[in-house]
Amino acid sequence: MPLGWYAAYTRHQHEKSAAQILREKGIDTLLPLYQVAHRWKDRTQLVHLPVFPCYVFVRASLQTRLNILQTPGICQLVGFAGQPVVIPEHEIDSLRTLVESSARYEPHPYLHSGDLVHIKLGPLAGIEGILTRFKNQYRVVLSVQLLQQSVAVEVDLAGIERSPVPQIPANPARSPSGCIA
């Protein structure tokens, strides 16, 4: 397993604790969170939820694979034919830029095709994603193809341009197995 970014599949609602333990072990992690208001009978509270439920991104190599898999809450590294698959660096860079920006973002259904756009202005300059429209608001959808999950961020049409690549390439389906509790 070469050094790179991988998606670690976690038990349900164990993303934050697994990411914290991995950081304590000295493993570089990325866990994008978004803020949402949850209502209960007696109160409303702002909570931070993972953009990609049941996944934590880890920067790892073959030597740290066992250490990652022994972390409580981690089930497996996402891959094909039993081998973990590296997530392209530009996808992780786009997610990091988004997380570090002040832009509002939220999970978005994965899109299989669409216009690929490039953000040319503002704090998200350089990011590429798929342009969508929702309730008269334009958004750019950033996708992690390996997970077949996406996150959407609102954008101003004046700050984007069409990318030279007309469509996102197809990606093999994922099928993470469950893990033993």
73, 11 Cβ separation under 8 angstroms: yes
Domain ranges of the chain: 4-84, 89-162
Task: Provide the phi-psi class of 81: left if phi over 0, else alpha when psi is between -120 and 50, else beta.
Answer: left
pLDDT band at 174 (very low <50, low <70, confident <90, very high): very low
Chain segment 52-108, per-residue pLDDT in tens: 999 999 999 878 899 999 999 999 999 999 889 999 999 999 999 999 998 989 887
Does the 4-84 domain belong in CATH 3.30.465.10? no
pTM as predicted: 0.70
What is each CA distance from 143 to 85, 108, 128, 132, 152, in whole angstroms? Answer: 16, 9, 9, 13, 9
